[in-house]
Structure 1
């Protein structure tokens, strides 16, 4: 029988895991610099963690099955004479998930007689018993013993793999940050030399100098006063979070005054929000930073690009979110755009509406990462721009419970 000896023949698992880790490190070093600077950091980290991690096989013991019995010829010796006879063969097929190669590596722990199987495919182990006993319970016990031996060896492999995966997950963010810092430092050095540089127009982002009156401005120029290259405009994360806090505070004020909220139309609420935002923020020229456009839009526009988009919508069913998201993605989206959907919920089951709205966002084809829930008061998502997964939109959903008094 040409069977397969598991956990034995292709070297030690430690060496294989080390090779995987080295390949991951080499991958980031070979990553195209423009592509690395262009891609969202979390996407790069996710890709590298996935490339450097190993999936230990998991036997799906609740899905094992048996094909029909067969007969095979087996050889035996009797007083030096070689003979062959036909015997019954029973096979048990055990599906598994994870990486097939792990079955071939020796873990740090093992036995002198590792398990054997009839076949090893990409997602199945074929266990075999020739000349099975006539008692069904004995056959079942023999197969269970084989499965248990495989599970034991997998548990030893899993211990090493889990340690490896934890190490990879911990080191990748630092590797990505260090590589990006090195590339940006090289670009700065190149710019300071003084020779003209031809650059792609979509190389990177910078923070728009948005100022809250109580904070120092976010500077878009490096310490030397000269930009290394022309980046794209973006709203800084601290300013984005500060703007969301203003919107939340105004939402809370409206919810506490239902008599006022009941009389306001959608665009009137939008105007109140604009007043509050512009009372807290100013643009580079000390003018109004947040602008209204149309009935429902709150925008920050820099260099003809929308870097903040607020959509005000009154809930009238799940289609409301479809309309809001469609309108959001129709805008000319620049890298690292920040956005908010301000959902006005009138005389409805607020919790049920919020759940439906969140599901609509999570089911959208542009959805990338999950919601960070803040006690039901705000939900944050990462979306990708239309037709470009590397351009991200940071989207907040802020529900307004505006009940009639």
Structure 2
């Protein structure tokens, strides 16, 4: 194949973004409104992320074979009188292993050299770039120079290509998210307009009740498209994300204070530590006189913020008692929730000496929970963030923070 010669990479990336947009636009309104956003984003990311080609020159290997070479291929100094006559010559073959999608080398990046169009052979079975050189002179240095020239041609625009693909991949999640949100906003505006007409709306009957999972191809990534059972969509209250982070930061500040003053908080029960957190949270937030809602304690160890009889924020406070109890705490917390996009925190107090070991255990075991979707960026060494689904409805996703504090 000819490298950096087929088309511009920018055209390819633009077509990929358009394909993403068309995929989202082709979904039914019920699907877009009800699907778990994080799961759908991960599904589209896995399908449209480009696999950057990696060329492993550090793992190159060589072999040789004999081949009949016509006289016309010989250098002038050999003075071959009959150009059609063939002569057996050794062929030195370099095999450069690669990984990723090597076909992307066909495209010209945003910046490319005049070496574009250089021909290379690809062996997809062995996943190697194959470079062959006729050993006319039995001169190892000449062969090595020819190989080094080829590598220079291959890598001439490679870094620019890699940078352009990485930029596309890194921006893909935000592009998908903004496209989904734009479609949801258009649907909501249309729904509000239709509702303002004051007459019943007849739903289309051809919308399928479920959506099939595409059958994976051999050696391809397995793409699992989230399944949604179509139903009416009801807007649900959600705690503003900025306020959620502020709540978690206050909890984290109080927890760090527990660690700084162990003599004050040593021997306290879960309820006592919970009350310290509650007393700090409550005066910092005002959620409106209309609902009269504020932080409250509704169980033995939890802190809740409720709206219209449903929980939009809950923090469950527990001492660390091992993996099983940790997962049971998450089960208990999830049991409070009915709304999509509820915000939660599991606050764990650790008396064990090996606090770092407990942190690592918690980070590993939480991924085994059946409602775990994905890990998000951590805010601190002891504050981890996750996306979970609500039991019995995998499309209702909630944010779950795990905040852990050492109380010897």
Fold shared, TM-score > 0.5 on shorter chain? yes
The answer for the alignment partner of 1:184 in structure 2 is 188
Q: What secondary structure is seen at the aligned counterpart in 2 of 1:111?
A: coil
What is residue 349 of structure 2 aligned with on the other side? 344
What are structure 1's unaligned runs of at least 5 residues?
A: 201-227
- Deviation (angstroms), 1:37: 3.0
Give the deviation of 1:166 after TM superposition.
Answer: 7.2
2:119 is matched with 116
Note if 1:15 corresponds to 2:20: no
CA distance, structure 2, for counterparts of residue 303 and residue 257 of structure 1 = 38
The answer to which of 112-121 and 156-165 deviates more is 156-165
| Aligned equivalent of 2:146 | 142
Structure 1 residues 33, 56: closer, same or farther in 2, change over 3 A? same
CA contact (8 A) 2:383 2:403 kept: yes
TM-fit CA distance, 1:176 = 4.0
* Alignment partners' CA distance in 2, 1:189 and 1:373: 41
- CA gap of 1:186–1:345, structure 2 versus 1, over 3 A, is same
* TM-score, normalised with respect to structure 2: 0.71
Is 2:375 the counterpart of 1:369? yes
1:71 to 45, 61, 66: 66
The answer to whether the 8 Å contact 1:60/1:96 transfers is yes
Change beyond 3 A, Cα 1:367–1:30: closer
Aligned-partner Cα distance in 2 for 1:70–1:172: 50
Name the CA distance, whole Å, in 1 between partners of 2:187 and 2:193. 10
Larger RCO (CA under 8 A, 6+ residues apart): 2
Task: Give the equivalent residue in structure 2 for 1:97.
Answer: 99
* Conserved 8 A contact 1:369-1:383: no
SS at match of 2:314: strand
The 1:85/1:333 distance shift into structure 2, 3 A limit, reads farther
Give the match for residue 397 of structure 1.
Answer: 402
What whole-Å deviation, never above 9, does each CA across 1:90-118 have from its counterpart, x for those lacking one?
A: 32222223333323334563436732223
**In structure 1, distance between residues paired with 2:141 and 2:392:** 58
Task: Specify the alignment match of 1:26 in structure 2.
Answer: 22
SS at match of 1:103: helix
Q: Unpaired runs of 5+ in structure 2?
A: 73-79, 205-231
Q: CA RMSD in A?
A: 4.1
2:76 aligned partner: none
Equivalent residues in 2 for 1:139-288, closer than 5 Å: 139-158=143-162, 161=165, 174-197=178-201, 230-248=234-252, 250-251=254-255, 254-255=258-259, 258-259=262-263, 261-270=265-274, 273=277, 286=292
In the alignment, the residues of structure 2 paired with residue 277 and residue 160 of structure 1 have an alpha-carbon distance, to the nearest angstrom, of 46
Q: 1:147 to 1:389 in 2, by over 3 A?
A: farther
How far off is 1:152 after superposition? Answer: 1.0
Partner of 1:82, secondary structure, is coil
Count of residues in Structure 1 that have an aligned counterpart in Structure 2: 369
- Looking at structure 1, the residues matched to 240 and 198 of structure 2 have their Cα atoms a distance apart, in angstroms, of 29
